[in-house]
Amino acid sequence: MMESTSKDLSKNRGRIIREAVNTFKTASYFQGRGQPAEGLAGTVSEGLMDLLEEGESRDYQTVKLYMEWLYNLIRKEGKKIDTTMDFLDTFEQIVTRHLPNKEDADVDVFFEMAREIVQRRHNELLR
Output the tens digit of pLDDT for each of the chain's 127 residues: 556 778 888 899 999 999 999 999 998 888 877 788 899 999 999 999 999 987 666 788 999 999 999 998 888 756 678 899 999 999 999 999 998 877 777 889 999 999 999 999 988 888 7
DSSP 3-state of 77? coil
What's the per-residue H, E or C state across 64-80? Answer: HHHHHHHHHHHHCCCCC
**For 3-126, CATH number?**
1.10.490
> Global pTM?
0.89
Tell me the domain boundaries of the chain: 3-126
Q: Are 64 and 58 in contact (CB under 8 A)?
A: no
